[in-house]
């Protein structure tokens, strides 16, 4: 089942349960997917593109959460955090730090990277290989740590 169909079913469930936060979050995700389909002009939206949408939306909410928390607006921060949790349910299982380290070590050995100068090479391969399984910031931090 495609992400769009899964989201549609989740929207129906949220409506039945009168879960306002989930409903708002899921409608936002569906809107982003529909926008992408409109831009693609009938071309099938790939799973990678759908995952990228979800990651972007989570990042936006994480940034908003941090800003609201810093400003003492806990009421708004809680809404952003709740929406983040709803959207995260539709991402593939995220790698633990240990799993991420093992994956990046493997990528480093495959690319032949030896120092921080080779970070770009590692990041390119890691971003493709770990898309949806970990966020770019975590991948970057781990790659820098392992290459230094």
Q: Delimit the domains of the chain by residue range.
A: 3-89, 97-147
Cα atoms in the 13 Å half-sphere on the side-chain side of 85: 8
Give this prediction's pTM: 0.74
72-131, pLDDT tens digit by residue? Answer: 999 999 999 999 999 988 887 878 888 888 888 888 888 887 777 878 888 888 888 877
Average confidence (pLDDT) over 59-79: 93
pLDDT at 11 over 90: yes
Residue range 26-51, pLDDT digits in tens: 999 999 988 888 887 877 778 888 88
Going from the C-alpha of 126 to that of each of 29, 103, 104, 109, 145, the distances in angstroms are 25, 8, 7, 12, 14
Q: How confident is the model at residue 144 (pLDDT cuts 50, 70, 90)?
A: confident
Question: Over 60: is that where the pLDDT of 21 sits?
Answer: yes
- Longest distance between any two alpha carbons in the chain, whole Å: 55
pLDDT at 1 over 60: no
pLDDT at 79: 93
Asked if 3-89 and 97-147 have one fold, the answer is no
Query: CATH topology for 3-89?
Result: Hypothetical Protein Yqey; Chain: A; domain1 (1.10.1510)
Topology of the domain comprising 97-147: Arc Repressor Mutant, subunit A (1.10.10)
Q: What is residue 86's predicted lDDT score, i.e. its pLDDT?
A: 93
């Amino acid at each position: 089942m495609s992400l769009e169909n899964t989201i549609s079913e989740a929207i129906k469930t949220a409506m039945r349960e009168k879960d306002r936060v989930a409903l708002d979050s899921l409608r936002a995700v569906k809107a982003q997917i529909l926008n992408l389909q409109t831009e693609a002009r009938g071309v099938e939206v790939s799973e990678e593109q759908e995952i990228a949408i979800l990651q972007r939306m989570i990042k936006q909410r994480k940034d908003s959460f941090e800003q609201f928390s810093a400003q003492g607006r806990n009421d708004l921060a809680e809404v952003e955090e709740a929406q983040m949790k709803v959207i995260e349910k539709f991402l593939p299982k995220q790698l633990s730090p240990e799993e991420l380290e093992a994956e990046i070590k493997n990528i480093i050995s495959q690319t032949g990277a030896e120092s921080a100068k080779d970070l770009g090479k590692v990041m390119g391969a890691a971003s493709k290989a770990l898309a949806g399984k970990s966020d770019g910031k975590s991948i970057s931090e781990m790659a820098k740590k392992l290459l230094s």
